Amino acid sequence: MGTEPGGYRHFSGSRLVIASHNAGKVREIGALLAPFGVETVSAGALGLPEPEETGDSFEANAELKARASALASGLPALADDSGLVVAALGGEPGIYSARWAGPEKDFSAAMRRVEEGIAAAADRSAYFVAVLSLAWPDGHVESFRGEAHGRLVWPPRGTRGFGYDPMFLHAGRDLTYGEMDPDEKHRISHRAEAFAKLVAACFA
């Protein structure tokens, strides 16, 4: 399990912790990993606590969560930190995207808050960011970033996806992430881009 010549450490195990308590993220990441024959288990299923996200970037928070789960479980762990970056809100909610939904994780309220903030703005552009961090129990970590650009619509459309998906229209598409078939979203999303980089570096 050494570092490869290209600088990345290759994943050679068969079991991986998905360092998340978010059922939607666990489902998406599990589906992306399925073709590689990797058995996944969520941090929630293992009873691992959610560490406080004290980082000041998507990368810092993803690495913090991945390292915490890897250390606690003794297994490699994959964490995702993602969020919505809205131009008219000065980049918010950004790394605080989940917190905008409050302790009840009410993303309907979070989407309303975003809409209220940009209702009078001419610029409705936004993009999703996802950073995937793969950590090993010895503390080594690799991180990969993906972005998906588009604009926000109102009212929200569709019941698929999770989080802010129903109000996000990917550039060049007619369906929001909330309306889109999950397989299609997996091909074009911010998480898919980050995952493609992860696979090329650590699983190929």
Domains of the chain: 15-203 (3.90.950.10)
Q: What is the 3-state secondary structure (H, E, C) of the chain?
A: CCECCCCCECCCCCEEEECCCCHHHHHHHHHHHHHHCCEEEECCCCCCCCCCCCCCCHHHHHHHHHHHHHHHHCCCEEEEEEEEEEHHHCCCEHHHCCHHHCCCCCHHHHHHHHHHHHCCCCCCEEEEEEEEEEECCCCCEEEEEEEEEEEECCCCCCCCCCCCHHHEEECCCCCECCCCCHHHHHHHCHHHHHHHHHHHHHHC
pLDDT at 25 over 50: yes
pTM, entire model: 0.91
* Confidence label for 5 from pLDDT (cuts 50, 70 and 90): very low
pLDDT value at position 202?
93
User: What average pLDDT does this structure show over 174-183?
Assistant: 95
User: What average pLDDT does this structure show over 84-94?
Assistant: 98
- The rounded mean pLDDT for the chain is 92
pLDDT at 176 over 70: yes
User: What average pLDDT does this structure show over 60-81?
Assistant: 96
Quick: pLDDT tens for 108-130. Answer: 999 999 999 999 999 999 999 99
Residues noted as catalytic: 81
pLDDT at 3 over 90: no
pLDDT at 61 over 70: yes
